[in-house]
Amino acid sequence: LQNNPPYNAGAFRFELAFSSNHPLVPPSATLRTRIYHPGVDSEGRVCQPLTTRERWEPTTRAIQVLQDLLLHLDSPDPQRMLRPDLARELQERPELFWHRAEEHVRLYAEPRPDTPGP
C-alpha cells in the first residue's frame, strides 16, 4: 500500500464486525479513530462498496476488506463519499483539505510503531 501523507503519519483503529451469517452477509467496518476524510462519516462508518450487499462475494476474505479500506483511506476519492462537504473541499480547496486532514492526524491518530525517526 502507498501510505500517503498525511494519513501515513498516524495509526488508526478499525473495528471489523462479522454477523452470524458471515460469509453470506458482508462485515461492517468502523473507524474508531477520528479522521478528516470524505469517505468516513462522523460515526466512523466508511464508504466501502466492496462490503455492500450488491457487491459482496462470500469468497471475499477479511484481509481483502482491510486492504480495500486502507487503500481508500490512503487516497480519498470524491466519488466514494459520506461527507459531501469534505469531498467538495478536497476538489475546490485541496490545500485547505490536506492541512485540516494533517491536523486531525496530529490530534487524534495514535503514533505508528514502525514510523522511522527524522
* Catalytic-labelled residue, pool 31, 46, 47, 69: 47
47 part of the active site: yes
Name the residue with cell 464508504. 47
Active centre residues (catalytic) = 47
